[in-house]
Chain A
Amino acid sequence: MSLVFAGICSHGPGITGRAAMADSAVSGPFYEAFGGMRAELEGARPDALVVVAAEHFANFFMNNMPSFAVGMAEGYEGPIEDPAWLGIERTSIPGNAGLSGRLIRAVMQSVDIAFAEEWKFDHGIMVPLHFLTPRYDLPIVPVNINCQGPPLAPLHRVWAFGEALRRAADAVPERIAIIGTGGISHWPATPDSGKVNEAWDREFLERWKANDHAALVSYTDEGTYRDGGQGGFEIRTFISIAAAAKGRGSVQYYRPIPIFSVGCTIGTMSVGA
């Protein structure tokens, strides 16, 4: 039928795994914003949720790394991480192989992608689902943009991929929701963890809200690494959502929460023509 919902959110494993280490006065409003995003998503009555995430070697490795990959299974499993560490139980997540196949064929009309009939979810998908579809009752179409193992797809190709996802969503009869999960600036998984370049993040979010194509694809990997850290490469997922939604964004929540290792972000975007 069409795209009925578009949004972005953070996916850092600390958001669930280190919840007890955060000041609840700070983390509480962030979790509430996730709840607001869930309400908006449910209000759009989607038949499936496309999750464009930046995974962290749950499936893809440098032996055979796709720039873009889409899952095509009847079901998925996650998290790969130790459930106690992540704070999320291991579970099965429904997919829809038929829908995935139709979306993949449509995307392939303009962008060469990989597909995968086996796919394990890591925190990049599990953390958002924990808040957005906590009953795991909405079929998921997992999508990955390589943001971990350089060389990474250039941003203008990420944009083209986002546009292709939109054409695909509009071509199927189902009501499709799409979210991008990732970070803006962050230096995760090391002693740098907690470092955030808030000014750089806010500038990025201004560009994202305005859906400023030229400004969004003008970042270079060198500049992003310098200003936004290795985690900053994940701006690809947020950029793909702007390309898919073609609307104007609003940011319901943004605040660095150092123990979560990221500038915590919740945003939605209107679906434009």
Chain B
Amino acid sequence: MQKFLFDINRDPAAQRQYHEGLDALLERYALTAEERRALAERALGLIYVLGANGQLLMHYAAFLGIPWTEYIAALRAGIEKYGQVRAGVYTMTTRLDEKVAGV
């Protein structure tokens, strides 16, 4: 899943393929069913919970043109729906209602 994010964030060829058809592009990656669904639905909150590195996810959201406040809200909603981050070092340490930066 992170490899897909790495490629899409930096590689113009992968970005072209993305625009031609995300499903075909996803075929190239070793993904669990849940990862595949999260990426196919561009479900940022679920991608976050599944353990994507925050930097990869943040740049992906920028690629998708999602504004910062919507991005943060999507991640918070993911935690609310699916629970704490399951892998990696980007677990959420603040409360759902905390909004440390006001967004």
Contacts and interface: CB of A to CB of B under 8 A. Distances in A.
B56 interface: yes
Q: Identify whether the interface residues of B are mostly helix, strand, loop, or mixed.
A: helix
A29 interface: no
Q: Identify whether the interface residues of A are mostly helix, strand, loop, or mixed.
A: loop
Contacts, number: 97
Nearest to B48: A190
Interface stretch (B18-26, B28-36, B61-69): B61-69
B19 to A, nearest CB: 14
Interface residues of A, number: 38
A261 B101 contact: yes
Given A190-B54, A190-B90, A259 B103 contact: yes
Contact of B58 (A58, A63, A189): A189
Interface string B61-103: 0110100100010011001000000000110111010111111
A57 B68 contact: no
Interface residues of B, number: 34
A253 to B, nearest CB: 19
A273 to B, nearest CB: 38
**A-B CB proximity, top 7 nearest:** A194-B101, A189-B54, A56-B55, A194-B100, A85-B62, A258-B101, A189-B58
Given A59-B10, A80-B10, 5 more contacts: A13-B58, A82-B62, A188-B55, A191-B92, A259-B103
